[in-house]
Structure 1
Amino acid sequence: MKRVFAVCLLLLSFLCCLPAFAAAAGQTGKKDYELISPESYEGYWEEKKEGRLLMAVTPTEEPGWYDVAVTLREKRPKMDVYMMRAHYQEDGSMYYENCLFVLRKVKSDGSVKDKVKYRNGSGLLYYSFDENVLYWTDYTLKPEKRVLTFIKTASPDTDEAK
């Protein structure tokens, strides 16, 4: 009887402590930005709300620097295009101050004409590890109203993309 009681007590204490052990095992003690690496940004991202914008983030040959392009997913005769080179920061964000924003017109013969809307725009990309989303704020045009959220997507060249 003592043996059964001891086993039951042991099982009960184990079951009571299990949630605490599980929670502690999932915590690394690291802050959100410490879990992010520059590679977290690489690839294709689509706007979460409507899925109309597509962002491509590709590493350059310079360590810590990435080329970023934001365009409309659909090919249209006229579209906005943002092009920038962003640098990975210690806080886990990517900052740029060289954005070129153009209105791109694709003619029927396939040639492209860009009308520059602004140069040297600045902004920030921030990947939220917890939410698994990428936030983009362009400081040039009403930054308080221009925080867009992106989710990871497949390459637009694959069948998995929309």
Structure 2
Amino acid sequence: MAQAGDALQSQRSEKEVLAEVKLERDQVFKELDPNSKGVISFEDVYKSLYKNNEDFKGPTMFMFKSVGGRKQEGHFTRDEFLNFLKFTQPEFKGDRQRLIFRAFDLGKRGFVTKDNLRQVFTEEYGLEPKFDFEYIFEEADDDGDDKLNFQEFQKFMKSYEMF
């Protein structure tokens, strides 16, 4: 009987913790939106979360654009911001990888080409593909069709070090 009570207490605590996390995230949005406009700029979020650490600006802004800016370019709505925070949590690693895949899938066709990868590397990150880019792409492309599906893309990203 005591074990059932402990499990119920543990379950209640988990719900309370989740409610607290949601409340904290809502509070962060409100602090970044003091005039209650309903949107916050990517720059304000970046400054708040990363304290102007320039090392992460390119990848972070790329991630921001992947999640936010649907209603107003360069800004998060409350829901977009909460979704972004969700993807920063370790338990959402698979979702985060799928989000990154969608960002690289410029044609929204369900696959990524070498040209897609090069374009994102140069335009979003200001990087030229490394010397081993072609080799790693070919190794990841299991079916040899010169495009990467999600599973192949994961294999590519695991092997290819962008930074």
TM-score by length of 1: 0.29
TM-score by length of 2: 0.29
1 or 2, which has the higher strand percentage? 1
1 or 2, which has the higher helix percentage? 2
